[in-house]
Structure 1
Protein backbone atom coordinates (compact mmCIF):
# COMPACT_ATOMS: atom_id res chain seq x y z
CA UNK A 1 0.00 0.00 0.00
CA UNK A 2 2.78 2.42 0.96
CA UNK A 3 4.76 1.58 -2.18
CA UNK A 4 1.65 2.11 -4.30
CA UNK A 5 1.05 5.54 -2.76
CA UNK A 6 4.72 6.42 -3.18
CA UNK A 7 4.62 5.46 -6.86
CA UNK A 8 1.44 7.47 -7.38
CA UNK A 9 3.02 10.50 -5.70
CA UNK A 10 6.16 10.22 -7.84
CA UNK A 11 4.07 10.22 -11.01
CA UNK A 12 2.02 13.28 -10.08
CA UNK A 13 2.30 16.21 -12.44
CA UNK A 14 4.24 19.03 -10.89
CA UNK A 15 5.87 22.35 -11.55
CA UNK A 16 9.16 23.68 -10.15
CA UNK A 17 10.30 27.32 -10.23
CA UNK A 18 13.93 28.20 -9.52
CA UNK A 19 16.20 31.24 -9.27
CA UNK A 20 19.90 31.18 -10.11
CA UNK A 21 22.28 31.71 -7.20
CA UNK A 22 23.45 35.01 -8.71
CA UNK A 23 19.86 36.18 -9.25
CA UNK A 24 20.32 36.80 -12.98
CA UNK A 25 18.20 33.91 -14.29
CA UNK A 26 14.85 32.45 -13.37
CA UNK A 27 13.38 29.26 -14.71
CA UNK A 28 10.33 27.07 -14.41
CA UNK A 29 9.80 23.51 -15.59
CA UNK A 30 6.72 21.33 -15.67
CA UNK A 31 5.67 17.76 -16.21
CA UNK A 32 1.99 17.87 -17.20
CA UNK A 33 1.59 14.43 -18.77
CA UNK A 34 -1.47 13.41 -16.73
CA UNK A 35 -3.06 16.84 -17.06
CA UNK A 36 -2.65 16.84 -20.85
CA UNK A 37 -3.87 13.25 -21.14
CA UNK A 38 -6.99 14.11 -19.17
CA UNK A 39 -7.65 17.11 -21.42
CA UNK A 40 -7.30 14.87 -24.47
CA UNK A 41 -9.73 12.36 -22.97
CA UNK A 42 -12.30 14.90 -21.82
CA UNK A 43 -12.41 16.60 -25.22
CA UNK A 44 -12.01 13.35 -27.22
CA UNK A 45 -9.14 14.80 -29.24
CA UNK A 46 -7.09 13.17 -31.96
CA UNK A 47 -3.30 13.37 -32.09
CA UNK A 48 -2.83 16.80 -33.67
CA UNK A 49 -5.24 18.93 -31.59
CA UNK A 50 -4.15 17.10 -28.43
CA UNK A 51 -0.52 17.90 -29.28
CA UNK A 52 -1.16 21.63 -29.54
CA UNK A 53 -3.46 21.78 -26.53
CA UNK A 54 -0.94 19.90 -24.35
CA UNK A 55 1.79 22.40 -25.22
CA UNK A 56 -0.50 25.36 -24.60
CA UNK A 57 -1.54 23.93 -21.22
CA UNK A 58 2.13 23.44 -20.27
CA UNK A 59 3.10 26.98 -21.27
CA UNK A 60 0.14 28.51 -19.45
CA UNK A 61 0.83 26.56 -16.26
CA UNK A 62 4.49 27.61 -16.29
CA UNK A 63 3.59 31.26 -16.84
CA UNK A 64 1.19 31.08 -13.88
CA UNK A 65 4.15 30.16 -11.66
CA UNK A 66 5.25 33.80 -11.75
CA UNK A 67 1.90 34.92 -10.25
CA UNK A 68 0.75 34.91 -6.61
CA UNK A 69 -2.27 33.61 -4.69
CA UNK A 70 -5.22 32.85 -6.94
CA UNK A 71 -4.10 35.15 -9.73
CA UNK A 72 -4.63 33.55 -13.12
CA UNK A 73 -3.42 33.76 -16.68
CA UNK A 74 -4.84 32.63 -20.00
CA UNK A 75 -3.31 32.02 -23.42
CA UNK A 76 -5.56 32.27 -26.44
CA UNK A 77 -4.40 31.38 -29.95
CA UNK A 78 -6.73 32.50 -32.74
CA UNK A 79 -5.80 31.64 -36.32
CA UNK A 80 -7.08 30.90 -39.80
CA UNK A 81 -5.88 27.29 -39.90
CA UNK A 82 -7.50 23.93 -39.22
CA UNK A 83 -7.68 24.80 -35.52
CA UNK A 84 -9.12 28.28 -35.21
CA UNK A 85 -8.93 28.58 -31.44
CA UNK A 86 -6.79 27.18 -28.61
CA UNK A 87 -7.50 28.42 -25.10
CA UNK A 88 -5.83 27.53 -21.81
CA UNK A 89 -6.22 29.07 -18.37
CA UNK A 90 -4.13 28.41 -15.27
CA UNK A 91 -4.15 29.54 -11.66
CA UNK A 92 -0.99 29.97 -9.65
CA UNK A 93 -2.27 27.32 -7.22
CA UNK A 94 -1.84 24.58 -9.85
CA UNK A 95 -5.22 24.37 -11.57
CA UNK A 96 -5.31 24.37 -15.36
CA UNK A 97 -7.97 23.83 -18.03
CA UNK A 98 -8.39 24.43 -21.74
CA UNK A 99 -10.04 23.53 -25.03
CA UNK A 100 -9.69 23.74 -28.81
CA UNK A 101 -12.13 24.83 -31.49
CA UNK A 102 -11.91 23.73 -35.10
CA UNK A 103 -12.52 25.71 -38.27
CA UNK A 104 -16.06 25.26 -39.52
CA UNK A 105 -15.13 25.19 -43.21
CA UNK A 106 -14.14 21.64 -44.35
CA UNK A 107 -11.31 22.94 -46.55
CA UNK A 108 -9.69 24.69 -43.58
CA UNK A 109 -9.85 21.57 -41.42
CA UNK A 110 -7.55 19.66 -43.76
CA UNK A 111 -4.13 19.54 -42.06
CA UNK A 112 -1.15 19.29 -44.42
CA UNK A 113 1.70 20.41 -42.14
CA UNK A 114 1.93 21.13 -38.42
CA UNK A 115 2.89 24.74 -39.18
CA UNK A 116 -0.47 25.21 -40.87
CA UNK A 117 -2.58 23.87 -38.01
CA UNK A 118 -3.11 27.29 -36.43
CA UNK A 119 -2.13 29.38 -39.45
CA UNK A 120 -1.86 33.16 -39.33
CA UNK A 121 -3.43 34.97 -36.41
CA UNK A 122 -2.77 36.29 -32.92
CA UNK A 123 -1.75 35.15 -29.47
CA UNK A 124 -3.60 36.92 -26.68
CA UNK A 125 -2.26 36.67 -23.13
CA UNK A 126 -4.53 37.84 -20.31
CA UNK A 127 -3.48 38.16 -16.68
CA UNK A 128 -5.93 38.67 -13.80
CA UNK A 129 -3.84 40.17 -11.01
CA UNK A 130 -4.44 41.36 -7.46
CA UNK A 131 -4.74 45.13 -7.19
CA UNK A 132 -5.58 45.58 -10.86
CA UNK A 133 -9.09 46.77 -11.73
CA UNK A 134 -8.87 45.53 -15.31
CA UNK A 135 -7.16 42.45 -16.77
CA UNK A 136 -3.69 43.04 -18.24
CA UNK A 137 -3.77 41.98 -21.88
CA UNK A 138 -0.93 41.50 -24.36
CA UNK A 139 -1.48 40.64 -28.03
CA UNK A 140 1.18 39.59 -30.54
CA UNK A 141 1.00 38.06 -34.02
CA UNK A 142 1.55 34.32 -34.25
CA UNK A 143 5.10 33.64 -35.44
CA UNK A 144 5.48 29.95 -36.25
CA UNK A 145 2.35 28.42 -34.78
CA UNK A 146 4.41 25.91 -32.79
CA UNK A 147 3.42 27.42 -29.39
CA UNK A 148 7.04 27.55 -28.11
CA UNK A 149 8.25 30.25 -30.51
CA UNK A 150 5.05 32.22 -30.10
CA UNK A 151 5.27 32.31 -26.30
CA UNK A 152 8.95 33.34 -26.48
CA UNK A 153 8.00 36.10 -28.93
CA UNK A 154 5.27 37.30 -26.57
CA UNK A 155 7.78 37.58 -23.69
CA UNK A 156 10.20 39.54 -25.88
CA UNK A 157 7.61 41.93 -27.32
CA UNK A 158 5.10 42.45 -24.52
CA UNK A 159 7.23 42.01 -21.40
CA UNK A 160 10.69 42.78 -22.85
CA UNK A 161 12.15 39.64 -21.27
CA UNK A 162 14.52 37.43 -23.23
CA UNK A 163 13.17 33.90 -22.80
CA UNK A 164 13.86 30.37 -23.95
CA UNK A 165 10.70 28.27 -24.21
CA UNK A 166 10.93 24.53 -24.78
CA UNK A 167 7.80 22.37 -24.96
CA UNK A 168 7.58 18.66 -25.67
CA UNK A 169 4.70 16.20 -26.02
CA UNK A 170 4.85 12.53 -26.95
CA UNK A 171 2.24 9.85 -27.61
CA UNK A 172 1.87 6.11 -27.11
CA UNK A 173 1.12 3.61 -29.87
CA UNK A 174 -2.62 4.30 -29.49
CA UNK A 175 -2.30 8.04 -30.11
CA UNK A 176 -2.79 8.93 -26.45
CA UNK A 177 -0.56 11.44 -24.67
CA UNK A 178 2.14 9.59 -22.75
CA UNK A 179 4.52 12.41 -21.77
CA UNK A 180 4.25 16.18 -21.81
CA UNK A 181 6.15 19.05 -20.27
CA UNK A 182 8.34 22.06 -20.79
CA UNK A 183 10.92 24.55 -19.57
CA UNK A 184 10.97 28.36 -19.59
CA UNK A 185 14.23 30.15 -18.77
CA UNK A 186 14.46 33.94 -18.56
CA UNK A 187 17.45 36.27 -18.31
CA UNK A 188 17.10 39.05 -15.75
CA UNK A 189 18.87 42.44 -15.75
CA UNK A 190 22.54 41.91 -14.92
CA UNK A 191 23.01 38.70 -16.88
CA UNK A 192 26.16 38.89 -19.02
CA UNK A 193 26.31 38.01 -22.69
CA UNK A 194 28.69 35.17 -21.83
CA UNK A 195 26.21 33.69 -19.35
CA UNK A 196 23.38 33.99 -21.86
CA UNK A 197 25.47 32.27 -24.52
CA UNK A 198 26.34 29.44 -22.12
CA UNK A 199 22.64 29.02 -21.38
CA UNK A 200 21.74 28.93 -25.08
CA UNK A 201 24.40 26.29 -25.72
CA UNK A 202 23.18 24.18 -22.79
CA UNK A 203 19.53 24.32 -23.86
CA UNK A 204 20.48 23.48 -27.45
CA UNK A 205 21.59 20.07 -26.17
CA UNK A 206 18.06 19.14 -25.11
CA UNK A 207 16.86 16.37 -27.38
CA UNK A 208 13.64 15.23 -25.71
CA UNK A 209 12.06 16.24 -22.42
CA UNK A 210 9.52 13.49 -23.07
CA UNK A 211 12.32 10.91 -22.95
CA UNK A 212 13.56 12.36 -19.66
CA UNK A 213 10.10 12.02 -18.11
CA UNK A 214 9.70 8.55 -19.62
CA UNK A 215 12.91 7.60 -17.82
CA UNK A 216 11.25 8.70 -14.54
CA UNK A 217 13.30 11.87 -14.10
CA UNK A 218 11.68 14.34 -11.72
CA UNK A 219 11.13 17.94 -12.78
CA UNK A 220 13.88 19.32 -10.55
CA UNK A 221 16.29 16.68 -11.87
CA UNK A 222 15.54 17.80 -15.42
CA UNK A 223 16.40 21.39 -14.50
CA UNK A 224 19.66 20.32 -12.87
CA UNK A 225 20.51 18.26 -15.95
CA UNK A 226 20.19 21.13 -18.41
CA UNK A 227 20.70 24.47 -16.64
CA UNK A 228 24.36 25.59 -16.63
CA UNK A 229 24.07 27.39 -13.29
CA UNK A 230 23.39 26.58 -9.65
CA UNK A 231 19.96 27.56 -8.41
CA UNK A 232 17.64 27.67 -5.44
CA UNK A 233 14.19 26.12 -5.64
CA UNK A 234 11.65 28.88 -5.08
CA UNK A 235 8.47 26.90 -5.50
CA UNK A 236 7.09 23.40 -6.05
CA UNK A 237 3.46 22.94 -7.04
CA UNK A 238 1.36 19.96 -8.04
CA UNK A 239 -0.64 20.67 -11.19
CA UNK A 240 -3.94 19.17 -12.27
CA UNK A 241 -6.56 19.54 -14.96
CA UNK A 242 -9.25 21.18 -12.88
CA UNK A 243 -12.41 23.07 -13.75
CA UNK A 244 -14.56 24.92 -11.22
CA UNK A 245 -17.75 24.64 -13.24
CA UNK A 246 -20.90 23.47 -11.44
CA UNK A 247 -24.56 23.16 -12.32
CA UNK A 248 -25.29 25.98 -9.88
CA UNK A 249 -22.96 28.35 -11.74
CA UNK A 250 -24.69 27.55 -15.03
CA UNK A 251 -28.08 28.21 -13.43
CA UNK A 252 -26.84 31.60 -12.18
CA UNK A 253 -25.85 32.56 -15.72
CA UNK A 254 -29.23 31.47 -17.08
CA UNK A 255 -30.85 34.02 -14.77
CA UNK A 256 -29.45 36.68 -17.11
CA UNK A 257 -31.95 35.51 -19.75
CA UNK A 258 -35.55 36.68 -19.78
CA UNK A 259 -38.53 34.54 -18.85
CA UNK A 260 -39.58 33.92 -22.46
CA UNK A 261 -36.15 32.57 -23.38
CA UNK A 262 -36.16 30.13 -20.45
CA UNK A 263 -39.68 28.96 -21.30
CA UNK A 264 -38.64 28.50 -24.93
CA UNK A 265 -35.67 26.36 -23.84
CA UNK A 266 -37.98 24.19 -21.73
CA UNK A 267 -40.52 23.85 -24.52
CA UNK A 268 -37.87 22.80 -27.07
CA UNK A 269 -36.22 20.36 -24.67
CA UNK A 270 -32.95 22.31 -24.63
CA UNK A 271 -32.01 20.98 -21.23
CA UNK A 272 -28.34 20.01 -21.63
CA UNK A 273 -25.59 22.42 -20.61
CA UNK A 274 -21.97 21.67 -21.53
CA UNK A 275 -18.81 23.30 -20.16
CA UNK A 276 -16.44 24.25 -22.98
CA UNK A 277 -13.42 23.91 -20.68
CA UNK A 278 -13.91 20.37 -19.35
CA UNK A 279 -16.81 19.06 -21.45
CA UNK A 280 -18.84 18.24 -18.33
CA UNK A 281 -22.56 18.10 -19.04
CA UNK A 282 -25.42 19.14 -16.78
CA UNK A 283 -29.07 18.23 -17.35
CA UNK A 284 -31.89 20.58 -16.38
CA UNK A 285 -35.14 18.99 -15.20
CA UNK A 286 -38.57 20.63 -14.97
CA UNK A 287 -37.89 21.64 -11.38
CA UNK A 288 -34.79 23.56 -12.50
CA UNK A 289 -36.79 25.37 -15.18
CA UNK A 290 -39.61 26.18 -12.74
CA UNK A 291 -37.11 27.58 -10.22
CA UNK A 292 -35.46 29.72 -12.90
CA UNK A 293 -38.79 31.10 -14.10
CA UNK A 294 -39.86 31.76 -10.51
CA UNK A 295 -36.66 33.68 -9.71
CA UNK A 296 -36.95 35.76 -12.89
CA UNK A 297 -40.58 36.59 -12.05
CA UNK A 298 -39.54 37.64 -8.54
CA UNK A 299 -36.89 40.00 -9.93
CA UNK A 300 -39.42 41.61 -12.25
CA UNK A 301 -41.89 42.36 -9.43
Structure 2
Protein backbone atom coordinates (compact mmCIF):
# COMPACT_ATOMS: atom_id res chain seq x y z
CA UNK A 1 0.00 0.00 0.00
CA UNK A 2 1.47 3.28 -1.07
CA UNK A 3 0.00 5.22 1.87
CA UNK A 4 0.99 2.59 4.42
CA UNK A 5 2.65 4.00 7.51
CA UNK A 6 3.40 1.58 10.29
CA UNK A 7 1.85 2.21 13.68
CA UNK A 8 -0.97 4.38 12.36
CA UNK A 9 -3.70 1.74 12.03
CA UNK A 10 -6.30 1.57 14.77
CA UNK A 11 -8.50 -1.40 15.54
CA UNK A 12 -8.28 -4.82 13.96
CA UNK A 13 -6.11 -5.49 10.94
CA UNK A 14 -4.04 -8.07 9.09
CA UNK A 15 -0.45 -7.85 7.86
CA UNK A 16 1.13 -9.84 5.03
CA UNK A 17 4.86 -9.67 4.37
CA UNK A 18 8.15 -11.45 3.88
CA UNK A 19 11.46 -11.58 5.74
CA UNK A 20 15.03 -12.70 5.26
CA UNK A 21 15.21 -12.04 1.55
CA UNK A 22 11.84 -13.60 0.81
CA UNK A 23 12.72 -16.92 2.46
CA UNK A 24 10.08 -16.49 5.19
CA UNK A 25 6.46 -15.57 4.48
CA UNK A 26 4.74 -13.86 7.40
CA UNK A 27 1.21 -12.96 8.46
CA UNK A 28 0.00 -11.29 11.64
CA UNK A 29 -3.33 -10.10 12.98
CA UNK A 30 -4.95 -8.05 15.70
CA UNK A 31 -8.50 -9.40 16.06
CA UNK A 32 -9.71 -8.04 19.42
CA UNK A 33 -12.86 -6.40 18.05
CA UNK A 34 -13.68 -9.38 15.81
CA UNK A 35 -13.43 -11.86 18.68
CA UNK A 36 -15.36 -9.49 20.95
CA UNK A 37 -18.15 -9.37 18.37
CA UNK A 38 -18.23 -13.17 18.18
CA UNK A 39 -18.39 -13.33 21.98
CA UNK A 40 -21.31 -10.88 22.14
CA UNK A 41 -23.30 -12.53 19.36
CA UNK A 42 -22.94 -16.07 20.68
CA UNK A 43 -22.66 -15.40 24.42
CA UNK A 44 -19.57 -17.58 24.64
CA UNK A 45 -18.12 -18.37 28.06
CA UNK A 46 -14.41 -17.47 28.51
CA UNK A 47 -12.80 -20.74 27.38
CA UNK A 48 -15.20 -21.04 24.45
CA UNK A 49 -14.37 -17.41 23.54
CA UNK A 50 -10.67 -18.32 23.49
CA UNK A 51 -11.22 -21.41 21.32
CA UNK A 52 -13.51 -19.64 18.82
CA UNK A 53 -11.30 -16.54 18.86
CA UNK A 54 -8.10 -18.47 18.17
CA UNK A 55 -9.75 -20.30 15.26
CA UNK A 56 -11.22 -17.06 13.85
CA UNK A 57 -7.81 -15.36 14.09
CA UNK A 58 -6.15 -18.22 12.20
CA UNK A 59 -8.98 -18.14 9.66
CA UNK A 60 -8.51 -14.40 9.09
CA UNK A 61 -4.80 -14.87 8.30
CA UNK A 62 -5.46 -17.88 6.08
CA UNK A 63 -8.06 -15.76 4.28
CA UNK A 64 -5.32 -13.24 3.52
CA UNK A 65 -3.47 -16.01 1.69
CA UNK A 66 -6.37 -16.15 -0.79
CA UNK A 67 -7.24 -13.73 -3.58
CA UNK A 68 -10.29 -12.30 -5.32
CA UNK A 69 -13.53 -14.09 -4.47
CA UNK A 70 -11.82 -17.12 -2.90
CA UNK A 71 -12.97 -18.23 0.56
CA UNK A 72 -12.36 -20.95 3.10
CA UNK A 73 -14.01 -22.80 5.96
CA UNK A 74 -12.21 -24.15 9.03
CA UNK A 75 -13.83 -26.91 11.08
CA UNK A 76 -12.36 -28.17 14.32
CA UNK A 77 -14.16 -31.30 15.50
CA UNK A 78 -12.73 -32.53 18.77
CA UNK A 79 -14.07 -34.69 21.59
CA UNK A 80 -14.37 -31.79 24.06
CA UNK A 81 -17.56 -30.17 25.37
CA UNK A 82 -17.46 -27.28 22.87
CA UNK A 83 -18.36 -29.65 20.05
CA UNK A 84 -17.62 -28.27 16.59
CA UNK A 85 -15.89 -24.94 15.87
CA UNK A 86 -16.67 -23.49 12.43
CA UNK A 87 -15.09 -20.37 10.91
CA UNK A 88 -15.59 -18.87 7.44
CA UNK A 89 -13.11 -16.32 6.04
CA UNK A 90 -12.34 -14.75 2.68
CA UNK A 91 -9.70 -12.69 0.90
CA UNK A 92 -11.44 -9.42 1.90
CA UNK A 93 -10.83 -9.74 5.64
CA UNK A 94 -14.41 -10.83 6.33
CA UNK A 95 -14.79 -13.49 9.02
CA UNK A 96 -17.67 -15.23 10.80
CA UNK A 97 -17.85 -18.26 13.08
CA UNK A 98 -19.70 -20.24 15.73
CA UNK A 99 -19.33 -23.15 18.14
CA UNK A 100 -21.83 -25.90 18.93
CA UNK A 101 -21.76 -25.18 22.67
CA UNK A 102 -20.98 -21.52 23.48
CA UNK A 103 -21.27 -22.23 27.22
CA UNK A 104 -18.38 -24.72 27.21
CA UNK A 105 -15.99 -23.73 29.99
CA UNK A 106 -13.53 -25.61 32.20
CA UNK A 107 -11.30 -24.51 35.09
CA UNK A 108 -8.01 -22.80 34.23
CA UNK A 109 -4.95 -24.97 33.72
CA UNK A 110 -2.01 -25.32 36.13
CA UNK A 111 -0.50 -22.08 34.78
CA UNK A 112 -3.70 -20.15 35.48
CA UNK A 113 -4.46 -19.87 31.75
CA UNK A 114 -7.68 -20.71 29.93
CA UNK A 115 -7.65 -24.44 29.22
CA UNK A 116 -8.52 -24.41 25.52
CA UNK A 117 -7.70 -28.13 24.96
CA UNK A 118 -10.09 -28.83 27.83
CA UNK A 119 -13.04 -27.57 25.76
CA UNK A 120 -11.76 -28.48 22.27
CA UNK A 121 -10.58 -31.97 23.16
CA UNK A 122 -7.38 -33.72 22.15
CA UNK A 123 -8.88 -36.33 19.82
CA UNK A 124 -10.55 -35.41 16.54
CA UNK A 125 -9.81 -33.60 13.31
CA UNK A 126 -9.08 -30.21 11.79
CA UNK A 127 -10.74 -29.79 8.39
CA UNK A 128 -9.93 -27.01 5.91
CA UNK A 129 -12.09 -26.43 2.83
CA UNK A 130 -11.04 -23.80 0.28
CA UNK A 131 -13.32 -22.55 -2.48
CA UNK A 132 -10.80 -21.42 -5.09
CA UNK A 133 -13.31 -21.01 -7.92
CA UNK A 134 -12.48 -24.44 -9.36
CA UNK A 135 -14.90 -27.24 -10.12
CA UNK A 136 -14.15 -28.96 -6.80
CA UNK A 137 -13.09 -27.25 -3.56
CA UNK A 138 -9.73 -28.09 -1.97
CA UNK A 139 -10.12 -30.18 1.18
CA UNK A 140 -7.45 -30.99 3.75
CA UNK A 141 -7.78 -32.80 7.07
CA UNK A 142 -5.36 -33.62 9.87
CA UNK A 143 -5.77 -35.10 13.34
CA UNK A 144 -5.89 -32.75 16.32
CA UNK A 145 -2.45 -32.93 17.96
CA UNK A 146 -2.98 -30.90 21.15
CA UNK A 147 -6.24 -28.94 21.07
CA UNK A 148 -4.30 -25.69 21.56
CA UNK A 149 -5.22 -24.80 17.94
CA UNK A 150 -1.99 -22.95 17.14
CA UNK A 151 -0.11 -26.26 17.29
CA UNK A 152 -2.91 -28.02 15.42
CA UNK A 153 -2.78 -25.61 12.49
CA UNK A 154 1.04 -25.70 12.54
CA UNK A 155 0.67 -29.44 11.96
CA UNK A 156 -1.98 -28.84 9.28
CA UNK A 157 0.32 -26.59 7.22
CA UNK A 158 3.25 -29.02 7.47
CA UNK A 159 1.21 -32.16 6.80
CA UNK A 160 -1.55 -31.09 4.41
CA UNK A 161 0.05 -28.17 2.55
CA UNK A 162 3.69 -29.32 2.88
CA UNK A 163 4.69 -25.88 4.18
CA UNK A 164 6.76 -25.85 7.40
CA UNK A 165 5.06 -23.19 9.50
CA UNK A 166 4.72 -21.75 12.99
CA UNK A 167 1.29 -20.59 14.14
CA UNK A 168 0.86 -18.56 17.32
CA UNK A 169 -2.52 -17.24 18.52
CA UNK A 170 -3.99 -15.95 21.73
CA UNK A 171 -7.16 -14.53 23.26
CA UNK A 172 -7.14 -12.73 26.62
CA UNK A 173 -10.50 -12.69 28.40
CA UNK A 174 -11.33 -10.53 31.44
CA UNK A 175 -12.99 -11.95 34.56
CA UNK A 176 -16.33 -10.56 33.34
CA UNK A 177 -16.02 -12.45 30.03
CA UNK A 178 -15.04 -9.41 27.95
CA UNK A 179 -12.38 -9.99 25.29
CA UNK A 180 -9.39 -7.76 26.13
CA UNK A 181 -6.94 -8.78 23.40
CA UNK A 182 -6.83 -11.22 20.50
CA UNK A 183 -4.34 -11.77 17.73
CA UNK A 184 -1.74 -14.03 16.23
CA UNK A 185 0.88 -14.75 13.60
CA UNK A 186 1.78 -17.34 10.97
CA UNK A 187 5.35 -17.81 9.75
CA UNK A 188 5.96 -20.01 6.71
CA UNK A 189 9.41 -21.29 5.80
CA UNK A 190 10.16 -21.21 2.08
CA UNK A 191 12.95 -22.99 0.19
CA UNK A 192 16.45 -21.54 0.63
CA UNK A 193 16.62 -21.23 4.41
CA UNK A 194 19.85 -22.56 5.89
CA UNK A 195 19.97 -24.77 8.96
CA UNK A 196 21.47 -21.83 10.84
CA UNK A 197 18.56 -19.57 9.88
CA UNK A 198 16.03 -22.23 10.86
CA UNK A 199 17.83 -22.49 14.20
CA UNK A 200 17.60 -18.71 14.67
CA UNK A 201 13.85 -18.83 14.03
CA UNK A 202 13.37 -21.70 16.47
CA UNK A 203 15.31 -19.83 19.15
CA UNK A 204 13.30 -16.65 18.57
CA UNK A 205 10.00 -18.55 18.71
CA UNK A 206 11.11 -20.33 21.87
CA UNK A 207 11.77 -17.02 23.62
CA UNK A 208 8.69 -15.22 22.30
CA UNK A 209 6.30 -13.90 24.97
CA UNK A 210 2.68 -14.93 24.57
CA UNK A 211 0.86 -13.07 21.79
CA UNK A 212 -1.67 -11.55 24.20
CA UNK A 213 1.14 -10.35 26.49
CA UNK A 214 2.66 -8.49 23.53
CA UNK A 215 -0.72 -7.02 22.53
CA UNK A 216 -1.28 -6.00 26.15
CA UNK A 217 2.01 -4.06 25.97
CA UNK A 218 0.65 -2.21 22.95
CA UNK A 219 2.72 -4.08 20.37
CA UNK A 220 1.35 -3.97 16.81
CA UNK A 221 1.12 -7.02 14.52
CA UNK A 222 4.25 -5.78 12.73
CA UNK A 223 6.14 -5.50 16.01
CA UNK A 224 5.09 -9.02 16.98
CA UNK A 225 6.59 -10.29 13.72
CA UNK A 226 9.84 -8.42 14.44
CA UNK A 227 10.16 -10.28 17.73
CA UNK A 228 10.76 -13.36 15.57
CA UNK A 229 12.35 -12.21 12.30
CA UNK A 230 14.09 -9.05 13.48
CA UNK A 231 14.27 -5.90 11.38
CA UNK A 232 14.45 -7.76 8.06
CA UNK A 233 10.67 -7.49 7.66
CA UNK A 234 9.05 -6.21 4.49
CA UNK A 235 5.32 -5.48 4.77
CA UNK A 236 3.52 -6.03 1.45
CA UNK A 237 -0.07 -5.41 2.51
CA UNK A 238 -2.27 -4.48 5.44
CA UNK A 239 -6.02 -5.02 5.51
CA UNK A 240 -8.92 -4.45 7.89
CA UNK A 241 -10.43 -7.59 9.37
CA UNK A 242 -14.03 -7.61 10.57
CA UNK A 243 -17.04 -9.73 11.39
CA UNK A 244 -19.34 -10.06 8.35
CA UNK A 245 -22.13 -12.60 7.92
CA UNK A 246 -23.45 -13.42 4.46
CA UNK A 247 -26.92 -14.46 5.64
CA UNK A 248 -30.03 -12.58 4.46
CA UNK A 249 -33.81 -12.90 4.49
CA UNK A 250 -33.67 -13.76 0.76
CA UNK A 251 -31.24 -16.63 1.33
CA UNK A 252 -33.39 -18.02 4.14
CA UNK A 253 -36.46 -17.79 1.88
CA UNK A 254 -34.64 -19.85 -0.76
CA UNK A 255 -33.73 -22.42 1.89
CA UNK A 256 -37.37 -22.72 2.95
CA UNK A 257 -38.51 -23.01 -0.69
CA UNK A 258 -35.91 -25.75 -1.28
CA UNK A 259 -37.53 -27.79 1.52
CA UNK A 260 -40.23 -28.62 -1.02
CA UNK A 261 -43.99 -28.37 -1.21
CA UNK A 262 -44.84 -31.16 1.24
CA UNK A 263 -42.58 -29.97 4.06
CA UNK A 264 -43.65 -26.35 3.65
CA UNK A 265 -47.31 -27.35 3.72
CA UNK A 266 -46.75 -29.37 6.92
CA UNK A 267 -44.94 -26.40 8.47
CA UNK A 268 -47.87 -24.09 7.70
CA UNK A 269 -50.50 -26.53 8.97
CA UNK A 270 -48.66 -27.67 12.11
CA UNK A 271 -46.76 -24.56 13.19
CA UNK A 272 -48.37 -21.65 11.35
CA UNK A 273 -45.05 -19.74 11.36
CA UNK A 274 -41.31 -20.31 11.26
CA UNK A 275 -38.22 -18.83 12.86
CA UNK A 276 -34.82 -19.53 11.34
CA UNK A 277 -31.72 -18.52 13.31
CA UNK A 278 -28.37 -18.14 11.52
CA UNK A 279 -25.67 -20.31 13.12
CA UNK A 280 -22.99 -17.76 12.32
CA UNK A 281 -24.48 -14.49 13.59
CA UNK A 282 -27.53 -15.50 15.68
CA UNK A 283 -29.77 -13.29 13.54
CA UNK A 284 -33.37 -14.57 13.71
CA UNK A 285 -35.60 -14.50 10.61
CA UNK A 286 -39.32 -14.84 11.34
CA UNK A 287 -41.91 -15.88 8.75
CA UNK A 288 -45.64 -15.60 9.50
CA UNK A 289 -48.32 -17.76 7.89
CA UNK A 290 -49.06 -15.46 4.89
CA UNK A 291 -45.32 -15.26 4.15
CA UNK A 292 -44.96 -19.05 4.28
CA UNK A 293 -48.00 -19.42 2.02
CA UNK A 294 -46.33 -17.14 -0.56
CA UNK A 295 -43.19 -19.29 -0.38
CA UNK A 296 -45.35 -22.40 -0.83
CA UNK A 297 -46.79 -20.86 -3.99
CA UNK A 298 -43.24 -20.27 -5.26
CA UNK A 299 -42.23 -23.82 -4.42
CA UNK A 300 -45.32 -25.17 -6.22
CA UNK A 301 -44.72 -22.92 -9.25
CA UNK A 302 -41.10 -24.02 -9.42
CA UNK A 303 -42.15 -27.66 -9.34
CA UNK A 304 -44.69 -27.14 -12.11
CA UNK A 305 -42.55 -24.73 -14.13
Which residue matches 2:282?
A: 279
User: Pick from 294, 300, 305: which aligns with 1:291?
Assistant: 294
Is this contact kept in 1: 2:19–2:229, CA < 8 A? no
Which residue matches 2:4?
A: none
User: Pick from 234, 246, 249: which aligns with 1:247?
Assistant: 249
Which residue matches 1:18?
A: 17
SS in 2 for 1:217: coil
Matched ranges for 1:33-48 at <5 A: 33-48=32-47
Which residue matches 1:195?
A: 197
Which residue matches 2:76?
A: 77
Distance in 1 of aligned mates of 2:125 and 2:267: 36
5+ residue gaps in structure 2? 1-7, 110-114
Which residue matches 2:112?
A: none
Q: 2:234 matched to 1:232?
A: yes
SS in 1 for 2:89: strand
Distance in 1 of aligned mates of 2:55 and 2:161: 19
Deviates more, 1:57-66 or 1:215-224: 215-224
Is this contact kept in 2: 1:124–1:138, CA < 8 A? yes
Q: Cα RMSD (Å) of the superposition?
A: 2.0
Distance in 2 of aligned mates of 1:27 and 1:92: 16
Which residue matches 1:5?
A: none
Is this contact kept in 1: 2:272–2:288, CA < 8 A? no
TM-score (norm 2): 0.89
User: Pick from 218, 231, 250: which aligns with 2:220?
Assistant: 218
Which residue matches 1:86?
A: 85
TM-score (norm 1): 0.90
Is this contact kept in 1: 2:17–2:234, CA < 8 A? yes
1:222-275 Cα distance to aligned partner (Å, 9 max, x none):
223432351221211100011010011000111112222112222314411100
Distance in 2 of aligned mates of 1:85 and 1:269: 32
The Cα shift of 1:185 comes to: 0.5
Distance in 2 of aligned mates of 1:50 and 1:250: 27
Large movers: runs of 4+ above 6 Å: none
SS in 1 for 2:85: strand
Which residue matches 2:129?
A: 126
Is this contact kept in 2: 1:13–1:34, CA < 8 A? yes
Which residue matches 2:159?
A: 157
The Cα shift of 1:294 comes to: 1.1
Is this contact kept in 1: 2:59–2:87, CA < 8 A? yes
Is this contact kept in 2: 1:203–1:227, CA < 8 A? no
The Cα shift of 1:162 comes to: 0.9
SS in 2 for 1:26: strand
1:39-62 Cα distance to aligned partner (Å, 9 max, x none):
011001101111100000001111
Distance in 1 of aligned mates of 2:217 and 2:301: 61
